[in-house]
Structure 1
Amino acid sequence: MNNVMFLKKGLSRIQFFSIALLILVSSEALSSVTMIGNRIIYPSNKNAINVEFFNNDAIPYAVQTWLDDGDAESKPSTSHAPFTASPSIFKIAENAGQILRMTYNGSQVLPQDRESVFYFNFLQIPPTNIGDKDKQKSNQLLVLVKNRVKLFYRPVAIADRIANLNNEIRVTGTSGTQGSRIVIHNDSPFYVSIATVKIKQQGIQHAKSANMISPFSQESVEFKEITSLKKLTALIEYINDQGAKVSHEYTITQ
């Protein structure tokens, strides 16, 4: 998830950073500093893990990081999560990499029979002296890009079960003249990030989105255009640990 904010040059440095976290709008294409991978898995038996970044631009950036427990509007001063990222603010040179060290600080006791999810934020801050040698550029906009990715704390006691995740998901459904509803049951101790749910009927494939499903929980998806689920299957596409989409076909039990 990326967000971008435009700031007009000419603001003082204090004004610049005071406003920096206040006005954000969605964007997906302006991030020059990228994290290697699009999610973080933190094994419970690790004292720390490394998070890698790369600057794909020809100019350096400052990067500010923080973690939160689900508040998408969080700021470094208001966020809460039992993890520490070090350094929390760093400079990354042009066309270069940077490694951040993340540790579980124990400020919150986490369950050991299931995953816990948190969110890692990093804000890309451009240098404020861009265009200083060109008066025509003195009023250009500065772009700040905020990225937010999921961090999954995974207890070592359940780690091996991820290989059989497909077998710990099942689908039930009901149908009638008003349409159909399927329920995706997540019987696993992992968070399942659903990309799409697809049902094919009479040669027509119907696709719906769904929310991330918590461990030992379920999610309902409505298909109002389908009045009978008899002999139909559901193709569920979800995101794996590597951030890739994988799919599996399930019988819909009625």
Structure 2
Amino acid sequence: MKFNLSNILLATALSTAVMATSSHAEIILHGTRVIYPSDAREVTLQLSNNGTKPSLVQAWIDEGDPQSTPDQSKVPFMISPPIARVEAERSQTLRITALPQAAQFNKNQETVLWLNVVDIPPKPSTDGAADAPENFLQLAIRSRIKFFYRPASIKEDVRTAPEQLQWSRSGNTLNVKNPTPFHVTLTTIRQKKGDKQVDLLPQGLMLKPFSTEEVALQSNTVEDMSFININDYGGRVEYKIKLQ
């Protein structure tokens, strides 16, 4: 198998058009998010190649633009290794280190960034030949997960953040206020409509620190409403909604 680093540019372009969940990728990320405490020396993310062939992996962090490329990244973090060959059925550890410029982030609330991992498969071969076919389409798969930089100066417990959300109703609108310095990710808000439970958040919602969002209600029944939060470990926890 031969890898060409020029394929990285191809991979970046293709990854914007070819998106897949980890269940369809050869490279599996062991985690759905990365938490970086500001007082940590480094954090790690484990990758595994569940395929039968080696893959070339490229990783970088961006500020929120899904179209960004590694050369455009200006975030104050270093990933080692930024490019790695992961053999079939083997693992690779990515080590993420904050640079001194990270001290410029807001010390009173979390900052959210995005970690990208592109899986670039090797060139195909024909009948064991070393060279790839003259015409072939090489697809790269990009996984993109949230990266939270959490200041050590925050003394509140992130585990209590979902319980601190403040809910109120204004006509056909449900208002939710996040009074905490943490990002709170909601995957579902359940409301009763007739004899069924409907989801008001089919696309999910991430509440920024100290922010308020509006969600459209689908019925006048606001009793027994609940929401599901994703915690630091990727677990889904359900909470009851208490209207103020």
Q: TM-score, normalised by structure 2?
A: 0.87
Q: Report deviation, 1:141.
A: 3.5
Distance 1:54 1:15 in 2: 23
Matched residue pairs, number?
A: 234
Q: Which structure's residues are more often strand, by fraction? A: 1
User: Which one-letter code corresponds to 1:120 in the other structure?
Assistant: L
Residue-by-residue CA offset, 1:122-148 (whole Å, 9 max, x unaligned):
11111125446269x835533311111
8 Å contact kept, 1:233–1:252: no
- Is it true that 1:181 corresponds to 2:173 in the alignment? yes
Q: Structure 1 residues 227, 129: CA separation in 2 closer, same or farther (over 3 Å shift)?
A: closer
Distance 2:8 2:148 in 1: 30
8 Å contact kept, 1:119–1:148: yes
> Percent identity, aligned pairs only?
27
Please, which runs of 5 or more residues in structure 2 have no aligned partner?
Answer: none
- Is it true that 1:40 corresponds to 2:34 in the alignment? yes
Report what 1:83 is aligned to: 77
Residue-by-residue CA offset, 1:83-137 (whole Å, 9 max, x unaligned):
11011001111101111110111224112221110001111111125446269x8
Report what 1:95 is aligned to: 89
Report what 1:208 is aligned to: 200
Please, which runs of 5 or more residues in structure 1 have no aligned partner?
Answer: 1-11
The DSSP-based 3-state class of the residue aligned with 1:57 is coil
Distance 1:198 1:115 in 2: 27
Report what 1:8 is aligned to: none
Q: Report deviation, 1:159.
A: 5.7
8 Å contact kept, 1:43–1:155: yes
> Superposition pairs for residues 125-136 of structure 1, below 5 Å?
125-131=120-126, 133=128
8 Å contact kept, 1:168–1:188: yes
8 Å contact kept, 1:211–1:219: no
The DSSP-based 3-state class of the residue aligned with 1:22 is helix
Q: TM-score, normalised by structure 1?
A: 0.84
Match for 1:141 among 137, 141, 145?
137
- Is it true that 1:120 corresponds to 2:115 in the alignment? yes
